[in-house]
Every structure is written in C-alpha cells, then in structure tokens.
C-alpha cells in the first residue's frame, strides 16, 4: 500500500509499530524528541525513513490527540 505510514505485524519486531517498509519502531522517533534531538538527527540516523512519511505520522498523531478529547480526559489529568 503506497500511502501506508505504519506497519504492525507480528512477524516484524513482534508486532511493534514500525515505519512502513522498515524495521524502525515509531517509538524511536519519540525517544529522540524526548532526548532533545531534532527531526533532522533522527532522519540522518535512520536513512530508510522519508521526511514526508515522518511529517505525515506527526500530522496524524496530532489529529488523533486534538480530536480525541474524551479519550484523553478519561486517561490523563488535563490542567
């Protein structure tokens, strides 16, 4: 599938969500960002990830978070 962003397959890293077409866990991106590293550093270190793919994933996650207030309110303390 051409536009697929993330793959979850029990045969790839035991079902860990990875960037589609790679074996790079999506969690690695957030680990980088949490450590204060840039998106450029991430892309330099994981050359199989396309910038457009990463940007689309961040867009989708943003949409999920901003449109899921009920889920967030039930699971997080929001001040």
Give the residue-averaged pLDDT of 70-79: 58
Question: Is 47 within the bounds of a domain?
Answer: yes
CATH number of the CATH domain containing 32: 1.10.10.10
Is residue 75 pLDDT above 70, yes or no? no
pTM to 2 decimal places: 0.77
Give the DSSP per-residue string, 6-59.
EE--TTTGGG--EETTSS-BHHHHHHHHHTT--HHHHHHH-TTS-HHHHHHHHH
Question: Is 64 within the bounds of a domain?
Answer: yes
Radius of gyration of the chain (CA): 14
Question: Is 1 within the bounds of a domain?
Answer: no
How far apart, in whole angstroms, are the C-alpha atoms of residue 46 and residue 38? 12
Question: Is 43 within the bounds of a domain?
Answer: yes
Q: Which of 9-13, 18-22, 28-32, 66-70 has the lowest mean pLDDT?
A: 66-70
Task: Count up the domains in the chain and report the number.
Answer: 1
Give the residue-averaged pLDDT of 5-23: 92
Name the residue range of residue 16's domain. Answer: 6-75
Reported as a single tens digit per residue, the pLDDT across 25-73 is 999 999 999 999 999 999 999 999 999 999 999 998 888 888 776 666 6
Question: Is 63 within the bounds of a domain?
Answer: yes
């Amino acid at each position: 599938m051409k536009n697929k962003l993330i793959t979850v397959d029990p045969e790839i890293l035991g079902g860990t969500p990875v960037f589609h077409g790679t074996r790079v866990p999506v969690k690695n991106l957030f680990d980088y960002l949490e450590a204060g590293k840039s998106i450029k550093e991430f892309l330099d270190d994981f050359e199989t990830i396309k910038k457009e793919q990463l940007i689309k994933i961040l867009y989708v996650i943003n949409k999920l978070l901003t449109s899921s207030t009920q889920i967030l309110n039930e699971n997080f303390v929001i001040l």
